[in-house]
């Protein structure tokens, strides 16, 4: 069985003052984008991951393809696109958290057609994960919702809205949430996302009422809060030396889906998932996120790295 990941690749450009000449701005470009990061993390952990994205033929697109291929992601569903890649210029704060300014108008990631997604054969797909800007950027966003509705009868649906308030009004996410809740089995948001969506109690109650079984709120150094049909649990984050927190949330989601897949819980509405198994999956997921924070950029760990202890040090971001 495969986990399909639907959404964007983004070129994350970080300022690099050490290589800038006088009067110039030097940038270090790292392949990123929340869905692509999640696909990479899943494949590195050993879960069959198939990426469903529109990838440009420009130099950034070639960078994305090289990273995905090297990580073991299946690219047989990738659409080769004539439009340019999405670019995000990132700035890190003192705690390694990134803020982004996006160059995303007319780029490849959002130009989905109904025909492109209708060509996908969902046989053998246990789960579909999607999120980030792909869920809200038209014209592709509506096509993605149609695809999720088609996938839902046989696949678990996971979503991470990953709100970008500087690019998309948070009201767009709030308006879409009832539609997404009718499709999703798992919804993961960060604490920063939740600030735009309401209180923890109200947010969880609304999603559960719409049919979402598992709601997750990642809290950075404080770990994660999960609500399984209203049963709440908290799982602490390991303590690590942080390089930056880029891609940690995506790694968390991948770790969770990997563990649920290994438990045989993907492929439906999570109806047999219990609290003990969920706690185990969350502990694994926060560890994957923590290890991602120990290296620069969205560089999630390979499975072999999970066999060693997490290094003690500063706090991490999930």
31-86 pLDDT, tens digit each: 999 999 999 999 999 999 999 999 999 999 999 999 999 999 999 999 999 999 99
* The residue to which tokens 């995303």 are assigned: 104
Contact criterion met (CB below 8 Å) for 245 and 32: no
Residue 131 — φ and ψ, nearest 5°?
160, -165
Tens digits of residue pLDDT in 162-191:
999 988 999 999 999 999 999 999 999 999
Say whether pLDDT at 278 is over 60.
yes
What are the tokens at 50?
Answer: 């198939």
Q: Please, which residues have CB within 8 angstroms of residue 142's CB and are 6 or more apart in sequence?
A: none
Contact criterion met (CB below 8 Å) for 317 and 242: yes
Integer Cα distance of 2 and 98 in angstroms: 31
**Strands (DSSP E) along 84-160, which ranges?**
86-92, 98-103, 125-131, 156-160
Integer Cα distance of 158 and 80 in angstroms: 25
Q: Return mean pLDDT, the chain.
A: 93
Integer Cα distance of 284 and 280 in angstroms: 6
Q: What's residue 247's pLDDT?
A: 93
- How much of the chain exceeds pLDDT 90, in percent? 82
């Amino acid at each position: 069985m495969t986990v399909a990941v639907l959404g964007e690749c983004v070129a994350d450009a970080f300022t690099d003052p050490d290589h800038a000449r006088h009067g110039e701005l030097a940038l270090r470009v790292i392949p990123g984008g929340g869905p692509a990061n999640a696909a990479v993390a899943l494949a590195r952990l050993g879960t069959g991951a198939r990426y469903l994205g529109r990838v440009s033929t420009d130099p950034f697109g070639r960078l994305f393809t090289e990273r995905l291929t090297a990580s073991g992601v299946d690219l047989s569903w990738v659409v080769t696109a004539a439009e340019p890649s999405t670019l995000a210029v990132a700035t890190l704060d003192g705690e390694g958290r990134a803020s982004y300014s996006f160059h995303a108008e007319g780029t490849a990631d959002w130009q989905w057609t109904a025909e492109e997604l209708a060509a996908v054969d969902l046989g053998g797909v246990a789960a579909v994960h999607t999120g980030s800007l792909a869920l809200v950027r038209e014209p592709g966003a509506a096509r993605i919702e149609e695809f999720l509705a088609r996938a839902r009868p046989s696949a678990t649906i996971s979503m991470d809205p990953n709100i970008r308030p500087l690019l998309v009004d948070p009201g767009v996410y709030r308006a879409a949430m009832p539609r997404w809740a009718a499709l999703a089995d798992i919804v993961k948001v960060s604490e920063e996302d939740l600030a735009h969506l309401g209180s923890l109690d109200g947010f969880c109650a609304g999603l559960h009422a719409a049919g979402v079984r598992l709601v997750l709120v990642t809290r950075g150094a404080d770990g994660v809060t999960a609500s399984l049909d209203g049963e709440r649990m908290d799982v602490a984050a390991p303590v690590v030396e942080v390089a930056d927190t880029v891609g940690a949330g995506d790694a968390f989601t991948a770790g969770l889906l990997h563990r649920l897949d290994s438990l045989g819980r993907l492929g439906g509405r999570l109806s047999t998932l219990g609290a003990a198994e969920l706690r185990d999956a969350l502990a694994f997921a926060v560890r994957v996120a923590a290890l991602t924070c120990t290296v620069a950029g969205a560089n999630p760990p390979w499975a072999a790295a999970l066999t060693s202890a997490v290094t003690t040090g500063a706090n991490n971001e999930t």
